[in-house]
Each structure stands twice: as C-alpha cells, then as structure tokens.
C-alpha cells in the first residue's frame, strides 16, 4: 500500500519570518494520515532542519549539483544537503528544465548522487501544452523517464518518487482533470512495471500543477495518484494543510 505524500515546493519564495511561521504551523497541525514534506529555498534549509527535528515532516532541497565538490561556484552538493539533514531533493522540475536548460542526462546524474547518499529523489516530469495538443504527452514523459528506467536498479527505486507535473498546469490555475491525471499516472506506472511489478506497485507518483485544497481530494482519490507536489498553495499554512487533510 502506497502512503500518500503531500510535498510543498516553495520555489524562490520565503523570508526568515515567513519560513518560521509556515514551518511551525505545519508542525503544530500534526498531520498523521499522510507523509508531509517541504522544499524551502537553500537559505532556509537549516531553519527547516532545526524546526522539524524530531518530527515526521521531511524536508529537502529544490536542486543539487551533478558534481561532488570543488570549483563549481554557486552550486550546492548532495553531500552538503546530507550534512544538514535533508532527506530529499527535487530533481528536474520543469522550471529547471526550461529556464536553466537541465537535461535528462543531468536529471539522471543528480538522481544517482542523491540515491548514493541514501536520500530520496523526487523526480519531476511533464509535457508542455503544445506537446499535449500534438498528442505527444505520453511520449515526452516516457522520454524524460527513459534514462532512469534503464539505469536504476530495483532497490534504488525505493528511494525515488516521481512527480507528474504537466507544464501547462503549473502556476496557471488550470489543473489537469482527475481523469487526465489518472491516465498519465497509470501510463507512468506501466513504464515502472517494465522495471518490475514491485517497482510499479511501490513507487509513489505525485501529481503537481495548481493543486489546492478545493481540488486535492478528487485528484488524490484516483487509483494511481499518490499525493501532490504543491507550489503556490504550499505558501500558506491553511491552504497547504487543507490539501494534507484531503
């Protein structure tokens, strides 16, 4: 049985005050019926580590370097994230793919580093509106997952979460219908079955793209949707916790 995961991707939003308030509100809500994770920007990860210590709420970074250490100005290594207690890293978010030219090869390299450190990789995939309208949505998602499907071993998949985020639904207020989302999630699960039935049965596939408290329950009720990756709605405790309660 896959346990639902609700993860908040704060993107490049926060201040010390805002992060403190949001983290303590999430902590105080003591959500029991699903896993909860937050992905604050790098400067607030230590604050998350301190605030969430001894709680079941997980936290992670929104990106990491493909390199191990050294002369890579501006980069943050997986080792550093592990050092401050991060359990997870978001990899290949569509904003990183489109704005920072992150390739599938980089996504694989980052994922392998995260897994080698014993952490969980939340790998994001999803098609653009053009690609969906041209009938290529499944092909694109398959391509984005292809390197992982070929390179990762069955045990490694236990440390991977996939987030399906159609680019046209991110930050637009336009959500995939539960049927559209379920269809893609079932397709992703069929790809995972190519690794093994165990991987298909146990890997969590989150939906992301304009999820809010008002539409989360319907999405999470779908057979192959195992929770959500939440952007805008993860910035206010009330909305984020409303989603967790769905």
Residues making contact with ligand PGA (CB under 6 A): 9, 165, 170-171, 208-211, 229-233
Nearby residues of 45 by Cβ (< 8 Å), 6 or more positions away: 59, 61, 81, 84, 86
Nearer to ligand PGA, 166 or 182 (CB): 166
* Rounded least distance, CB 246 to ligand PGA, Å: 14
Distance CA 218, CA 240 (A): 16
Q: Single out the catalytic residue among 95, 112, 127, 165.
A: 165
Q: Single out the catalytic residue among 93, 102, 127, 239.
A: 93
Nearer to ligand PGA, 115 or 166 (CB): 166
* Rounded least distance, CB 217 to ligand PGA, Å: 16
Give catalytic status of residue 127 as yes or no. Answer: no
* Rounded least distance, CB 106 to ligand PGA, Å: 18
Distance of CA 229 to the CA centre of its chain: 5
Tokens of 136: 């290529």
Nearer to ligand PGA, 199 or 244 (CB): 244
* Rounded least distance, CB 163 to ligand PGA, Å: 7
Give catalytic status of residue 93 as yes or no. Answer: yes
Would strands 227-230 and 204-208 be described as parallel, antiparallel, or unpaired? parallel
Tokens of 38: 């937050």
- CA atoms lying within 13 Å on the CB side of residue 25: 16
Nearer to ligand PGA, 200 or 219 (CB): 219
Distance CA 44, CA 133 (A): 39
Geometric angle at alpha carbon 202, from 199 and 206, rounded to 5°: 105
Answer yes or no: are the C-beta atoms of 9 and 61 closer than 8 Å: no
Positions marked catalytic = 93, 165
């Amino acid at each position: 049985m896959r346990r639902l995961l609700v993860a908040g991707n704060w993107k490049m939003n926060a201040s010390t005050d805002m992060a403190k308030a949001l983290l303590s509100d999430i902590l105080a809500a003591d959500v029991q019926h699903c896993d909860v994770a937050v992905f604050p920007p790098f400067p607030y990860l230590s604050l998350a580590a301190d605030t969430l210590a001894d709680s079941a709420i997980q936290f992670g970074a929104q990106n990491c370097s493909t390199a191990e250490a050294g002369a890579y100005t501006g980069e943050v290594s997986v080792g550093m994230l592990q050092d401050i207690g991060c359990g997870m890293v978001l990899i290949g978010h569509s904003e990183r793919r489109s704005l920072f030219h992150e390739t599938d090869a980089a996504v694989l390299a980052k994922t392998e580093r995260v897994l080698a450190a014993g952490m969980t990789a939340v790998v994001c995939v999803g098609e653009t509106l053009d690609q969906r309208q041209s009938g290529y949505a499944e092909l694109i998602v398959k391509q984005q997952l292809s390197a992982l499907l070929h390179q990762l071993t069955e045990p490694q998949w236990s440390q991977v979460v996939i987030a399906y985020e159609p680019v046209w639904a991110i930050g637009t207020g336009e959500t995939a219908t539960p049927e559209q989302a379920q269809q893609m999630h079932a397709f992703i699960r069929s790809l995972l079955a190519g690794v093994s039935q165990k991987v298909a049965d146990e890997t969590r596939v989150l939906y992301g793209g304009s999820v809010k408290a008002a539409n989360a329950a319907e999405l999470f009720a779908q057979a192959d949707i195992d929770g959500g990756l939440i952007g805008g709605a993860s910035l206010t405790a009330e909305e984020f916790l409303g989603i967790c309660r769905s």
